Amino acid sequence: MLKPLLLDNVPSVAQTACIAIGRMASESADIAESVINWDILPQIVYSIPEQNRFFKKCAAYVLRAIAKHNAELAQAVVDNDGLTALSKILTVFDPSVKEAGCWAISYIAKHNVNLASAVIDSISVHKLVLCIQEPEIGLRRIAASALMQIARHSTELAKKVVFDEQTTVPFLSP
C-alpha cells in the first residue's frame, strides 16, 4: 500500500506516493472512497502545512481527484479539513501550487449549494480574487472558474462572490 510512503523522510518518495494516490482516485469513485476509508486523506491533509511546495501541489491534486466524482466525496474532503488545507495552499508563493488549489476548490464548489457555502465559509473569496490578480493566465482562469462554480448555485452566493464591486468586478472584466 502507498500510505506508509506518504510518511517517508525522502520528499520525492512522499510526493510520488501522493501523485500515485491522486491518479488512482481520479480514475474511479470507488478508489476515491477507499482513499477516504483507509484514512489516507486525513494523513495527506495533515501533512500539507509541514511539507514543501511540490508535495502541496500533489496533495491539492489528490483533493481534486477525490472531490470531482460526486457531492458525497467532495463533502468527505470538506469533513477532513480539506478546505482549511486548500486555504493554506492559496497563500503559497508558487503560482502552480495556487493553481492546483484553485482546481480543487472549483471541483468541491461545483456540486451543490452547501459545498459552495462551505468554500465561502472556510476559504476567503478574497484569496481567490488575489489569485485572479496574478500575472499567470492559467491561475487567473482557474481562480475565475472557482468563483463561477461558487456563484452559479444561487443569487445569495453570487452576491457573496461579488461582495464589493470595487474589489472583485474589475478583475473579472477585461
What are 1-33's pLDDT values in tens digits? 678 898 888 999 999 999 999 999 999 999 999
Instruction: Flag whether pLDDT at 165 surpasses 70.
Output: no
Nearest to 59 by CA among 41, 37, 72, 71: 41
Query: Taking Cα atoms as reference points, which of 162, 58, 77 lies closest to residue 118?
Result: 77
Structural domain 3-172, CATH architecture: Alpha Horseshoe (1.25)
Mutual orientation of helices 113-122 and 137-151 as an angle, nearest 10°?
120
pLDDT surpasses 60 at 93: yes
Residues 27 and 83: their CA atoms lie apart, in Å, by 22
Three-point CA angle 38, 100, 80, nearest 5°: 30
| pTM score above 0.85 | yes
Of 8-12, 36-40, 103-107, 124-128, least confident by mean pLDDT is 124-128
Q: Give CA–CA dist 63/82, Å, rounded.
A: 7
Task: Tell me the CA distances in angstroms from 97 to 89, 92, 142, one per residue in order.
Answer: 7, 7, 12
Report residue 123's pLDDT band, with 50, 70 and 90 as the boundaries.
Answer: confident
For residue 127, pLDDT over 60 is answered with yes
